[in-house]
Amino acid sequence: MPAIFLHPAQDGLVILVRAQPRARKNSTNSLLKGTLKISVQAPPEDGKANLAIAELLYKVLKLIKNQIKLIQGETSRDKKFLI
């Protein structure tokens, strides 16, 4: 059974993300226990990794910046983004 990393929400969809900061390259790697694993080169300082993850999601999902928002996990590796 495939892992589900998208969940319906009142305002759209929630994407569950497992972050890997300070990676060699920016990429969406795999599904891991119901979350989408995303690697970014940015360090986990001052929100840099969160911004890099959001920018990667914009590109992959072909969204504009105001269509995605971090709603949980600002300082955690496990994050929730609202689309």
Domain range list for the chain: 8-82
Choosing among 1.50.10.20, 3.40.1350.10, 3.30.1200.10, 1.10.3720.10, the CATH entry for 8-82 is 3.30.1200.10
- Cα–Cα distance, 31 to 2 (Å, whole number): 9
% of the chain with per-residue pLDDT over 90: 77
pLDDT reported for residue 23: 94
pLDDT exceeds 70 at position 1: no
Helix (H) / strand (E) element for 2: namely: none
Task: Give how far the C-alpha of residue 24 lies from the chain's centroid of Cα atoms, to the nearest Å.
Answer: 17
Predicted model pTM: 0.88
Mean pLDDT of the chain: 90
Enclosing H/E stretch for 49: helix 48-61
Backbone angles phi, psi at 20, to 5 degrees: -130, 95
Residue-wise pLDDT for 6-62, tens only, equals 889 999 999 999 999 999 999 987 777 788 999 999 999 999 999 999 999 999 989
